[in-house]
């Protein structure tokens, strides 16, 4: 089944290459990576091009991750039903990798939060309500999008382990550790991509949503 895991990752990576924010910016004559924070994700697109662009970018990045998961399920559920959720998670992680490190943009993409949200909705929807609260409330109170993003990926990992141990994910016990490890990769990737944001949060210099630079 190693081949299936690799195939799922590659499927996800290929879909993750669809850089919604970059493409939207190009349609409007802007390389989004040359503006604002230099990031090709939702938050920078929102800051540079406005709410409409930010929403379109978020939805596009969310859907490409969901599509990656759906394709993995369609291809592998008949042959590997006992490990399908793990393969779906690999596809989702591949989408995050493709979004964060698109080869045709010199590996300069986004931070993968919208993609991760799509994976949560598709693979572990039980975690979605709390993740939504963990994002909306802190951002509404502090206007720090990065804080909400960090809390979402951390909250997802904790819930994935709890739901897995309680048997709510429907995954065989022998595959649960792998599911947890791949889930931890989402969190680790997001935290690493937000390392500069975390430093600014600690020093009180992080950019607030809606604030002018």
The Cα–Cα gap between 145 and 147 comes to 5
**Phi-psi category of 30—alpha, beta or left, where left has phi over 0 and alpha has psi -120 to 50?**
beta
Across 181-201, average pLDDT: 96
Predicted confidence (pLDDT) per residue in 37-89, tens digit: 778 888 889 888 888 999 999 999 999 999 999 999 999 999 999 999 999 99
Q: Which residues contact 47 (CB under 8 A, 6 or more apart)?
A: 36, 37, 54, 207, 209
pTM value is 0.93
The whole-angstrom separation of Cα 123 and Cα 116 is: 10
Q: Give the start-to-end residue ranges of the domains of the chain.
A: 2-203
pLDDT at 191 over 90: yes
CA 149 to chain centre: 9
Pinpoint the alpha helices (H) of the chain: 2-16, 20-27, 42-49, 51-76, 84-100, 113-123, 128-142, 145-166, 176-193, 195-203
Tens digit of each residue's pLDDT (9 = 90 or more) over 8-29: 999 999 999 999 999 998 898 8
> Rounded CA gap, 146 and 46, in Å?
14
For residue 212, pLDDT beyond 80? no
Q: Which among 137, 138, 158 has a CA at the least distance from the CA of 147?
A: 138
């Amino acid at each position: 089944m190693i081949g299936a895991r690799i195939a799922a990752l590659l499927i996800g990576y290929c879909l993750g290459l669809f850089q919604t924010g970059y493409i939207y910016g190009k349609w409007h004559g802007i390389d989004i990576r040359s503006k604002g924070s230099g990031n090709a994700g939702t938050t920078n697109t929102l800051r540079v091009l406005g709410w409409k662009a930010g929403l379109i970018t978020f939805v596009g990045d969310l859907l490409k991750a969901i599509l990656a998961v759906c394709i993995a399920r369609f291809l592998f559920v008949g042959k590997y039903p006992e490990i399908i959720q793990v393969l779906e998670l690999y596809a989702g992680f591949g989408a995050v990798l493709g979004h964060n490190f698109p080869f045709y943009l010199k590996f300069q993409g986004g931070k993968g939060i919208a993609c991760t949200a799509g994976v949560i909705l598709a693979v572990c929807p039980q975690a979605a309500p709390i993740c939504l609260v963990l994002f909306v409330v802190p951002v509404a109170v502090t206007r720090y999008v990065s804080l909400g993003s960090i809390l979402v990926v951390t909250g997802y990992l904790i819930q994935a382990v709890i739901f897995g141990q309680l048997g709510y994910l429907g995954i065989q016990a022998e595959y649960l550790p792998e599911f947890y490890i791949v889930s931890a990769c989402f969190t680790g990737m997001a935290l690493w991509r937000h390392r500069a944001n975390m430093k600014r949060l600690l020093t009180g210099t992080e950019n607030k949503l809606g604030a002018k630079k």
